[in-house]
């Protein structure tokens, strides 16, 4: 931001002041930084989850996901300085989707868990755990045919993107659903 003495009448002027030929924020100004808040809520959600406070963890995850607005420094996606933090935030976002979906599934809220798993797969189609989670959601909702279709989608995606087969755990889940076992 370029500041000029002519702008002294602006409302933000009380928050900024010249120091040594450059403008800076007044030390008494408190800032709210969305990225810092996101990371704090992610840490809080993990802490609540580890402590067994499931509903507090769900609330923290829901809050941080509600505030997530996409990739960090989207206007300069090739800026080297932003790449490590962008990737860390992206992974925290995906982990939050994954953990929240699992918490909802564990609490019997299959519809919400399925929505979150689908969001996760839209952003990371190779995340096999999300495929399994969605298979469980469909099966528990009495839709085993959708669970089996999800398995096929998982197999195709992993083969196309990574040239790998699904994990034994995924195949075992598929077989259990096909046998109409409770999963």
Tens-place pLDDT, residues 45-82: 999 999 999 999 999 999 989 887 766 555 665 677 77
- Residue 19 pairs in a beta bridge with 22
The torsion angles phi and psi of 4, rounded to 5 degrees, stand at -135, 145
Q: What percent of the chain has pLDDT over 90?
A: 62
Q: Is the pLDDT at 171 greater than 80, yes or no?
A: yes
CA-to-CA dists, residue 163 to 28, 78, 156, 158, 178, angstroms? 56, 28, 9, 6, 25
For the chain, domain boundaries: 36-107
The torsion angles phi and psi of 9, rounded to 5 degrees, stand at -80, -10
Higher pLDDT, 82 or 181: 181
- pLDDT the model gives residue 8: 53
Q: Is the pLDDT at 2 greater than 50, yes or no?
A: no
Dihedral, CA of residue 68, residue 74, residue 77 and residue 82, to nearest 10: -60
The CB density around residue 13, as the number of other CB atoms within 10 Å, is 13
């Amino acid at each position: 931001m370029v500041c000029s003495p002519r702008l002294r009448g602006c409302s933000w002027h009380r928050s900024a002041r010249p120091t040594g030929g450059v403008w800076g924020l007044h030390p008494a100004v408190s800032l709210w930084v969305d990225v810092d808040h996101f990371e704090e809520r992610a840490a809080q959600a993990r802490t609540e989850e580890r402590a067994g406070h499931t509903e507090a963890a769900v609330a923290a995850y829901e809050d941080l996901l509600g505030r997530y607005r996409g990739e960090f420094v989207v206007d300069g996606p090739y800026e080297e300085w932003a790449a490590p933090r962008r990737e860390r935030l992206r992974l925290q976002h995906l982990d939050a989707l994954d953990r929240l979906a699992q918490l909802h599934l564990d609490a019997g809220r299959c519809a919400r868990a399925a929505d979150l798993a689908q969001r996760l797969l839209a952003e990371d189609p190779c995340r096999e755990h999300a495929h399994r989670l969605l298979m469980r959601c469909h099966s528990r909702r009495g839709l085993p045919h959708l669970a089996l279709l999800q398995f096929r989608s998982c197999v195709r995606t992993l083969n196309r993107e990574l040239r790998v087969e699904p994990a034994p755990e995924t195949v075992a889940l598929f077989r259990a659903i096909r046998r109409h076992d409770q999963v």
